[in-house]
Chains A and B, each alone.
Chain A
Amino acid sequence: MGAIGRHRRPPLAIVLLVHALVYAGVAMMALPLLWMVLTSLKTEAEAGTSPTFATLLPDAPQWANYARAFESARLERYYLNSTLAAVLTTVLAVAHNALAGYAFAKLRFRGRRVLLGLALATMMAPVQVYFIFMYLLCTWLGYVDSVQALVVPFLASGFGIFYMRQATLAVPDSLLEAGRLDGMSEFDLFWHVVRPTVWPAMSALGIFTFVFSWNNFFWPLIVVDSERAKTLPLALADLSAGLYVDSWPVQMAAATIMVVPMVVVYLVLQRAFVRGVALTGMKE
């Protein structure tokens, strides 16, 4: 129905039905987040009982729940750690993966195929297989319990290299040859010729990396030992460490605090997000 509808409008009933279904889906996407925010503003009593129409909305918004979330979980510090780790990882990982992608796409050197194959193979290794020795390595390097441990292991990835290589393949060789004849160095070529062309892919990879780093849970759970490097997902998991005080409004407030910056960034940059994702599957 959809594809052909590019050109021919199907019967009105079908048009309406499709809209109804899709917007029902839109509601399902938004509702959990809306419910999260609503719950975060309720009292314990309002949240703890079966909802009724009367208790769907908080009677009086309990902004204090947000103060409580900050008080009980010291979120300020974790915000800083999460941001630092995500920004450092994003900037450096995009740079390195893009350079490697350029080398694999456009430069000739011995071992190119084998090395690319090895890089790709790492995409299949589950973190649960390698985390033990990755952890011991980080210990040996003195990274454990610092933001470094959340950054360095992710500065290169099989996916990132492959993704940037595919994007770089689209750069016309003639441009590069011309640059070389002008005496540009390979890094000049990358920066002045390749980068402008693959910039959408780089920003997409940057977004992926940022989202991954911001939301990463398993590895920080193992490697973070103290407040020094604790990130927001860990702090959120802390809030349910026991039954002792188990306040859903406060937990929802913490979840809201954690989620909102990403949502704002996403809404502002959503065009770049979507375009970036779209690029992923194109080059098969």
Chain B
Amino acid sequence: MRSSAVVLFGIAAGTAAVVAPVALLTHDGGGTARSREILFTVWGMPFEDRLFEDGYARGFEAEEPGVRVEYRRFPDVTAKYTAWHARGIGAEVMRVQVTDYHQMVERGMLEPLDAYIDDPADGMSEAAIAAIPPEMLDALRVGGSLYALPQDMAQIGLYYNRAIFDAWNAANPGDPVEYPREGWTWDDLRDTARKLARRDGGRVEVYGFDMFIWQWPFMNFFAQAGGTLWSDDGLTTLIDSPAGVEAIALFRGMVFEDGSFMPAFGEQQATGPHSRFAEGRTAMFLDGSWMAPSFQLRNPSLDFAVAPVPRGRVEAVCAGACLWGISVHAKHKRDAWRMIRWLVDEPQALRYWDTLRVAPPANLAVVNSDAFRRTSGIASDREPGRYLVPPMREDEFARYAEWLRYGMTPRGESGDAPAFIPVSLYQRALENEITALLHDILRHPTQPSAEDALARAAKSVHDVIDRDRAAKGLPRVDRGSKAD
């Protein structure tokens, strides 16, 4: 019977070992007892570790010998931050999407930074603050305070395939088209797209214009039509307005009148709009700054360039941002602040551009510097000669990146730059509704009417707001007669 005793003991001991609250399997040692460990969290693709982990985490440790940086990357940070907040923990330096920022501030997840910024010993210099685009700072101020600093300022632009334009001009010398450029209008966009679109029977040979069905293009043209997304208190959305109708008319015109735009619904496509553009089948493609390296990688022979978005009555460029914030639950806030200050300062902001080239850093000094004109990319460790992010040579700057300066440069009498960052407490809910709205209106030329679709979207957003406020015991929002 001895064997059974051994088994029983084995089960008991094994269970005890696994259940024991002391993490036996985990500790990776590392770090002396005196070093302060700070947690640094990001989302992103695995290869972005090359910047965030190898560059930033290890780089800051070299900068501050008393600090050990624990780096973590998640596919979905929103759920993760919520889970941590419920546990009463948080990261020292957390990467945050600007769309979630106001909600996170409202929920008390982020540490206010003003005291750190103004600190005489450890604060930020005037020049460092002045380097941040002012419209970005405006978007981030809540009750006069800042709870995060921006890493980048991603923007939407018009990618175009030069070969398709050149081919048209060679074939139609009497009716030439021009490359998209700064100052183009909606009409220029529509005319050119219509000319370049080409079908062969049922099959589309060349897509005149293309884009993913998502919120940025709508917000972009909505703003260009003079629209404002939110009331001043941020509790009522104003998309249900003539500007919204105009933006819808632009999209519907290209789809149903011009036949230059054949929407591909959904982002789950392996061969979505971005693949078609990469294959050389699309004349103009409206998308974010992050696409250029990916096109270069996927199709090195693609002859493309990028221009600023065409302008409407108002010059506007939809932009977004990744931010660096400190969790209220962080243990080493002083170190966290020093790391953030280091991250947004010129050298590290430039490094972001130099490696990933996803978006220009939110640092005007970098964007206007000569160093902005070329990048090194990320080379593969294991396959010499292969790049995970291709570099940009200086002679490619005009084609791939110069357009980014347009949105960030003050223009005209107002002195405002065209780029705007859509933010509000309920921005996420609004953006979800805008995407749903586009799915509705791009399937049929008149059904539902633009007015009905916008009213329905606004009502859905207001439902979310009212529900949230009721749960918090806050008073109802009075939206007058427009409420429903």
**Contact in complex: A146, B26 (CB < 8 Å):** yes
* B145 close to A (CB within 8 Å): no
In the bound complex, CA of A144 to CA of B75 (Å): 18
Distance (whole angstroms) from the CB of A127 to the closest CB of chain B: 14
**Contact in complex: B44, A92 (CB < 8 Å):** no
In the bound complex, CA of A254 to CA of B224 (Å): 43
Distance (whole angstroms) from the CB of B57 to the closest CB of chain A: 12
Known A49-B279, A238-B75; judge A73-B46 contact (CB<8 A). Answer: yes
Known A49-B279, A72-B46; judge A244-B14 contact (CB<8 A). Answer: no
Distance (whole angstroms) from the CB of A161 to the closest CB of chain B: 15
Contacts of B28 in A (CB 8 A): 228
* B25 close to A (CB within 8 Å): yes
Selecting from A19-27, A166-174, A186-194, A273-281, the interface stretch reads A186-194
* B383 close to A (CB within 8 Å): yes
Closest 9 CB pairs of A and B: A191-B4, A241-B75, A146-B26, A72-B46, A139-B87, A95-B11, A142-B21, A141-B21, A188-B4
In the bound complex, CA of A132 to CA of B85 (Å): 12
Interface residues in A200-251 by Cβ distance below 8 A to B read 221-222, 225-226, 228-229, 234, 237-239, 241-246, 248
* B271 close to A (CB within 8 Å): yes
**Contact in complex: B381, A187 (CB < 8 Å):** no
**Contact in complex: A91, B279 (CB < 8 Å):** no
* B371 close to A (CB within 8 Å): no
Known A48-B275, A48-B298, A73-B46; judge A92-B15 contact (CB<8 A). Answer: yes
Selecting from A53-61, A112-120, A147-155, the interface stretch reads A147-155
**Contact in complex: A191, B7 (CB < 8 Å):** yes
Contacts of A151 in B (CB 8 A): 18
Residue of A with least CB distance to B41: A225
From the candidates A135, A226, A245, name the one contacting B297 in the complex (CB within 8 A): A245
Distance (whole angstroms) from the CB of B44 to the closest CB of chain A: 7
| Partner-B contacts on A (CB < 8 A) | 44-45, 47-50, 64, 67-68, 71-74, 84, 88, 91-92, 95-96, 99, 132, 135-136, 139, 141-148, 151-152, 155, 184-185, 187-188, 190-192, 221-222, 225-226, 228-229, 234, 237-239, 241-246, 248
- The interface residues of chain A, by DSSP majority, are classed as helix
User: Interface size for chain B: under 10, 10 to 19, 20 to 34, or 35 or more residues?
Assistant: 35 or more
From the candidates A148, A225, A242, name the one contacting B45 in the complex (CB within 8 A): A242
Distance (whole angstroms) from the CB of A95 to the closest CB of chain B: 5
Residue of B with least CB distance to A189: B4
Distance (whole angstroms) from the CB of B318 to the closest CB of chain A: 17
**Contact in complex: A238, B46 (CB < 8 Å):** yes
Sample (25) of A-B pairs whose CB atoms are under 8 Å apart: A48-B298, A49-B271, A72-B45, A91-B14, A92-B15, A96-B11, A132-B86, A136-B87, A143-B23, A145-B26, A147-B26, A148-B26, A151-B18, A152-B19, A155-B18, A187-B4, A187-B5, A188-B1, A221-B79, A222-B79, A226-B70, A237-B75, A238-B75, A241-B44, A248-B270
**Contact in complex: B278, A48 (CB < 8 Å):** yes
| Partner-A contacts on B (CB < 8 A) | 1, 3-5, 7-8, 11, 14-15, 18-19, 21-23, 25-26, 28, 43-47, 70, 72-76, 79-80, 83, 86-87, 267, 270-271, 274-275, 278-279, 290-291, 293-294, 297-299, 358, 380-383, 388
**Contact in complex: A243, B19 (CB < 8 Å):** no
Residue of A with least CB distance to B14: A92
From the candidates A145, A192, A243, name the one contacting B4 in the complex (CB within 8 A): A192
**Contact in complex: A48, B279 (CB < 8 Å):** yes
In the bound complex, CA of A117 to CA of B275 (Å): 55
Residue of B with least CB distance to A74: B46
Residue of B with least CB distance to A152: B19
Contacts of B22 in A (CB 8 A): 142
Residue of A with least CB distance to B22: A142
Residue of B with least CB distance to A50: B271
Contacts of A64 in B (CB 8 A): 383
Apart from the given pairs A135-B83, A136-B87, A185-B4, 12 other A-B contacts in the complex at a CB distance below 8 Å: A64-B383, A72-B45, A95-B11, A132-B86, A147-B25, A187-B5, A190-B4, A191-B8, A221-B79, A228-B26, A242-B44, A243-B274
